A and B are shown apart, each in its own frame.
Chain A
């Protein structure tokens, strides 16, 4: 029998969901703090670890973290990368210009926050001191904490 060359349609499927996630009590406290330009973390009563954003459990101790603490707005850039691409809806595209994102460890925090850095790629240095930059209008949303810049 003659081999049939498969030809297929490639219908695109606009599988797009509308979801409405609840952030839960811990993340809500964090976002409420944003309304006063405060960064809150959760502290473990056993090991003393402070994690930001706050979350219910200390994974090290498997305990509920009950204490919220306010963290300073300054910290250290522990690690960073210069992005040359952006991922949008699962597609990889070149970025308009290189940009910096990095891990910022706030003074007094035990873990680092992933954040956008307002710094030229050539000027970014691991270990540099950085401080939080807020939007002028804060509304208790993630975008209130705009980025970090050199302190």
Chain B
């Protein structure tokens, strides 16, 4: 096993609803060029590229093929991953293994989403369209299948089952989701690469947004964003020459359960708020990173939260607090930028969701915190170790990356 470190990242100048001024490939190039500029690397220094986005959302199958020139990747290996919401971190893990295995010394993970050019909710419906069509073809009445109908209504419909189950089990209330959403929108205001920002956001303000599907309000939901992110990783030897501050990869893991846990059909077999994959992936990543108790050893967390209740829920799942404790930390102000358990100082996915980038942004934001380069959103406490979480698939797939300010002892 070789040590691998993050030596630099690159974002598009903005993350907004509609980038009307650029094509997909041109938008990708902005992040790639930013990554090269930030590290002082030249295109010829990159040994391998790893690419990811949600292909079906924009109706593009292998965008890296026609974006090759825009990544300066001619003559280079490009590997494409596609794992849904977690794609950003799957691509990051891809770049990590390129370097950890010695197949590359410097690798770049490139991710993007240009939601304005596609239809994310139709894309999500594509997950179950085969089932719906098969049921209709077989003469099965689907009108009574509320779980399926909810998923058919897009991600927010399906997720309301998870949120209500989480509230029931944790003892948190809908007001906690409001407060969590408000906290993240305030954090987003400190992040130049966030989409929905509101320095004045309060729980009361969020509570006034329309109810979408109980307990999910409009203010709890992520936007659809256009943006691209790259992350450059390097071997220990190369990293020292490229960057003064390096965020070292201490452990990576992922885990998937059964797609039917998404409450897809009425015969659901597990609770959508159980999220065993998050628990298992975190345990595996901690083990690989040599971390015994994340509560004590992890200083900063970035949670993939398409919906605001997920920040609270996943803090518990990944082991940053006990079950039922997250909303109490929130009440005590511990989740704030100056708190003892700061989370999503970036504003999280709930403030910015260009899906391809979303799980990678969790890693890059952790890296910036570890490197002390997060600017206005740098948390008050010292960050030696940070955990990035990714969530996606059909609500059944989680990825974890743990970073540290020192390389792993091999």
Residues of A within 8 A of B (CB): 9, 11-13, 15, 17-27, 55-57, 59, 62
In the complex the two chains form, is B68's CB within 8 Å of A59's CB?
yes
In the complex the two chains form, is A11's CB within 8 Å of B133's CB?
yes
* A-B contacts besides A25-B21, A62-B72, 7 pairs, CB < 8 Å: A11-B134, A17-B59, A22-B23, A22-B24, A24-B22, A27-B23, A57-B70
In the complex the two chains form, is B59's CB within 8 Å of A22's CB?
no
In the complex the two chains form, is B129's CB within 8 Å of A13's CB?
yes
24 residue pairs of the A-B complex, CB under 8 angstroms, read A9-B134, A11-B130, A11-B134, A11-B137, A12-B133, A13-B129, A13-B130, A15-B129, A17-B56, A17-B119, A17-B123, A19-B59, A20-B116, A22-B19, A22-B22, A24-B22, A26-B26, A27-B23, A56-B29, A56-B69, A56-B70, A57-B69, A59-B68, A62-B43
In the complex, the chain A residue whose C-beta lies closest to that of B33 is: A64
Chain A contacts for B22, CB-based, 8 A: 22, 24-25
Q: How far is the CA of A62 from the CA of B42 in the complex (A)?
A: 9
Residue total for B at the interface (Cβ-Cβ under 8 A) = 34
A86 → B minimal CB distance (Å): 20
Determine which residue in A12, A22, A24, A62 has the highest number of CB atoms from chain B within 10 A of its CB, and name it: A22
In the complex the two chains form, is A19's CB within 8 Å of B118's CB?
yes
Chain A contacts for B23, CB-based, 8 A: 21-24, 27
Q: Mark B236-252, 1 if CB is under 8 A from A, else 0.
A: 00000000000000000
Is B122 an interface residue, CB under 8 A from the partner? yes
In the complex, the chain A residue whose C-beta lies closest to that of B21 is: A25
Chain B contacts for A62, CB-based, 8 A: 43-44, 72
Q: How far is the CA of A11 from the CA of B142 in the complex (A)?
A: 15
Q: How far is the CA of A57 from the CA of B67 in the complex (A)?
A: 10
In the complex the two chains form, is A17's CB within 8 Å of B118's CB?
yes
Q: How far is the CA of A39 from the CA of B23 in the complex (A)?
A: 20
Chain B contacts for A24, CB-based, 8 A: 21-23, 25-26
Q: Mark B152-188, 1 if CB is under 8 A from A, else 0.
A: 0000000000000000000000000000000000000
In the complex, the chain A residue whose C-beta lies closest to that of B43 is: A62
